[in-house]
Amino acid sequence: MDSTDRTKHTLRAYFRHERELTFTSESWLHIVQAREIQNAQVVASYVSYGFEPQTIDINSALLREGKILLLPRTLPDKDIEWVAWDGREESLQKNGKVLEPIGVTFTDLQSVGAVIVPALTIDREGNRMGQGGGSYDRALARLHAWKVGLVGAGEISSEILPVESHDQKVDAAGTPELLLRFSRDAPGHL
């Protein structure tokens, strides 16, 4: 483990602990109104668990709007594939702590217009810190979609997070109150 890995490991433990202490069940539903999500016919999301920002109302709203909703399914090598989900709980199965969709792999990744991703924290340049497996970074690298990470109100970092070459940035951060878009033209500025 190199020094960046050690730093990220320490930060993840800290952010998980802080989230557990400050977690409140709030809604991130307002992000569905983002123009990128409104313009997308295919949206990738996830089923939240534990202390993650809640996605049940987001996913339900996307389905009501007639979007094709993709959910991630973890492969044995910890990569992610996407499966279209119809909203039925019986078409989900437990994989560890996570509910994942049952069904055929969605292969038309070029049609994905927006993706909603979990994050422990996001910095002002759009660097996202996830759980540490690299699954989302590999999956996001294959998507040419607008990416929004969900975090709690106090989980936008003013400090730049440590990054590695495989880490994927998000285009925006959604909190229960705000949608913060990151400018790629002016590093260090929202």
24 pLDDT higher than 80: no
Whole-number pLDDT of residue 184: 65
Question: Span 84-101, mean pLDDT?
Answer: 95
Closest CA to 127 of 140, 114, 108, 145: 140
Beta strands in the chain (DSSP E): 42-44, 68-74, 80-85, 92-95, 98-101, 112-118, 121-123, 128-129, 146-150, 156-157, 172-174, 179-181
Q: What are phi and psi of 176, to 5 degrees?
A: -60, -20
**Could you tell me which CATH class the domain 3-181 is placed in?**
alpha beta
Average pLDDT, the chain: 89
pLDDT tens digits along 128-154: 988 767 789 999 999 999 999 999 988
Whole-number pLDDT of residue 1: 60
Structure token digits, residue 76: 């044995």
61 pLDDT higher than 50: yes
Question: What residue spans define the domains of the chain?
Answer: 3-181
